A and B are shown apart, each in its own frame.
Chain A
Amino acid sequence: MSSLTESSLDPAQAICDFTILAGDPWIHVLKRGQTVRIEDLEGNQAADTLFFNAADPVDRYSAQDTIREQGAIYLTTGTKLISTRGHVLLTITADTCGRHDTLGGACACESNMVRYAIEKRSMHACRDSFLLGARQMGLGKRDLAHNINFFMNVPVTPEGGLTFADGVSAPGRYVEMRAEMDVIALISNCPQLNNPCNGYNPTPVRVLIWA
C-alpha cells in the first residue's frame, strides 16, 4: 500500500491556514465535506493526530478498526479512518508521502523512560500536548486513544518485527483528508528529541482547510 496522489486544491483558496510549531497541540472542528491538508514543511516530522466524532466524542478514531477494515497497516490515499462504532470519520484523498503509521502511538514522558532512560521523564512529549489540547474541548485522558502518525514510517516485518525506519517524507510532502462527518481534529506536532526518525530536529507542520 503505497500510492502517491497529488491534490488539485489551491492553497490560495483555503479558508484556514495554520502553522503548528513542534511541541504544540492544535485542536479544531472540521465540518462534514471540508478537506484538511497537513504539510510536512521541513521533512521527516511526525504529526500525531486523533479524530473524534464531533457530535459524540466517545465515537473516536480507532487504529485497530481502521487497520482491520482495510486489511493493511499503513495509511495512504483511499484509507477510510474508522471510529470505534464503525463510522467513517474521514477519507484520505491525497498523499504525496505514500505511507503513514498508526501502530507506533504517541510519545509520552513515561514511555520515554522505558525506551530511552528513566532520566528522560521531564522531556516534552506528545501525550502531554494531547492532554493540553483535549482540554480545550472538554476532553481528557480517557478520550485519548491510539493515534495516527502522519509522515512516520514504522515498518512491520513478516516475522513480526517492528522497526522505526528513516522517514519516507520530505519537505513539502502532504496528506489530505475529506471529513465524512463533523469531526474534532487534535494534533500534537511531535517534540521528540530522542529518536533519529526526525533527525533529532522537530520542525513545524502546516494545516490548510478548504470548505
Chain B
Amino acid sequence: MPAIDPSLIRFRETVPPGANWSHVLKRGTTLRLTDPEGGANVAALLYNFELLAERLNLPDTLKCQHTARLAKGHCLYTDMGRILVSIPEDTCGWHDPLAGWSTARIVKEKYGAKTYQSARNEWHRNAHDNFVTELGKYGMDERDLTMNVNFFSKVTVDDAGRLSFHPGNSRPGAFVDLRAEMNALVILNTCIHPLDPSPTYAPKPVELTIYTSPPPGPDDFCRNFRMENQRGFTITERYFL
C-alpha cells in the first residue's frame, strides 16, 4: 500500500536530522517512516505503554523469526511474547537490529565535537544521549535501555562474524510501516548510524505519517509470515481480552 488514503491520515511530522521524537502509537494506527532524501537512519526503542518494564526484546524477536535483519512480514516482540508493532509494508528491505547506537565518544572521534553554543541546531548529537533524554520524559532512565533497531540501515555479517555497513541501502522515498499491535511507546531519533563511514557529520531527516489502520485479520501477511507469528498474534490478542 504505497499511497495512504488521505482520509485515514491522522497527522504528519518531520523529524530533522539528529533530533528526538516520541509518541504513544495507539493500537489501530500505523506509523509510516519515510526517508525523503535516502541514506536516513532512525534509531528506535519501543515499550508497552501500559507496562513500561515490558520492552522491545530483539534477541527474542530475531530468534523466533530466524532472522538477523528486519523487513516486511516481521514483528517486533516484547520480552513477554507479545507484539509491539508488525511490519506490513516495507520498500527498503533491510533494517539493522545488530549494531546499536552512536555515542558521544563515537561522534566526537569521527566528526569532532560541535556544541550547541557554537552551532545551534547544527550541533553534533548522538543516539545514546538522545535516547536517555527522551526516556527521561516518561520517567525512565538508562536502566530502560535495550537493544535498538536502526531503520533504513543495513549491516551484514560475514562467515567469520564480521560486520559490514552498506551505504545507500535506503533510497529517496523508501518507507517502512510500523503497525501498532498494542499501545506502543515509540522513542526514536535521527542520529547517524554508528558504523556509517561518511567522513562528514550528515544525519538525515525522516518524515512520519500516523494513519488509521484496520486490525489484522486471519489472512494478515505478518500473522501468517511464520507459525511463530501466529502464536505471537494470539498471545497479543489475549492480552486485550
Contacts and interface: CB of A to CB of B under 8 A. Distances in A.
Interface in B75-103: 77, 79-82, 94, 98-101, 103
Contacts, number: 131
A62 B143 CA distance: 12
Interface in A85-124: 85-86, 99, 103-106, 108, 110-111, 113-115, 117-118
A84 B101 CA distance: 10
A146 B146 contact: yes
Given A58-B141, A58-B142, A114 B77 contact: yes
A71 B162 contact: yes
A21 interface: no
B162 A158 contact: no
B241 to A, nearest CB: 14
A53 to B, nearest CB: 11
B222 interface: no
B234 A118 contact: yes
Given A114-B64, A145-B145, A160 B94 contact: yes
Interface residues on B, range: 35 or more
Interface string B134-164: 0000000111111110000000111111110
Interface centre among B105, B141, B163 (most CB of A within 10 A): B163
A82 B158 CA distance: 22
A156 B231 CA distance: 24
A contact patch SS: loop
A121 to B, nearest CB: 9
Given A2-B160, A64-B148, A110 B80 contact: yes
A29 B190 CA distance: 38
User: Which of A108, A113, A118 neighbours the largest number of chain B CB atoms within 10 Å of its CB?
Assistant: A113
Given A142-B144, A160-B94, A161-B66, A68 B105 contact: no
Nearest to B163: A71
A65 interface: yes
A1 B158 CA distance: 10
Nearest to A58: B142
A25 B99 CA distance: 29
Among A65, A73, A108, A163, find the residue whose CB has the most chain B CB atoms closer than 10 A.
Answer: A73
Nearest to B67: A162
A178 to B, nearest CB: 22
Interface of B: 53, 57-60, 62-64, 66-69, 77, 79-82, 94, 98-101, 103, 105, 141-148, 156-163, 194-195, 228, 231-232, 234-235
Interface of A: 1-2, 58-59, 62-65, 67-68, 71-74, 84-86, 99, 103-106, 108, 110-111, 113-115, 117-118, 127, 141-143, 145-146, 154, 156-158, 160-164
Given A115-B228, A142-B143, 19 more contacts: A1-B161, A62-B100, A64-B99, A67-B99, A68-B99, A74-B161, A104-B63, A105-B58, A105-B63, A111-B77, A113-B231, A114-B60, A115-B64, A127-B79, A142-B144, A156-B68, A158-B156, A161-B68, A164-B63
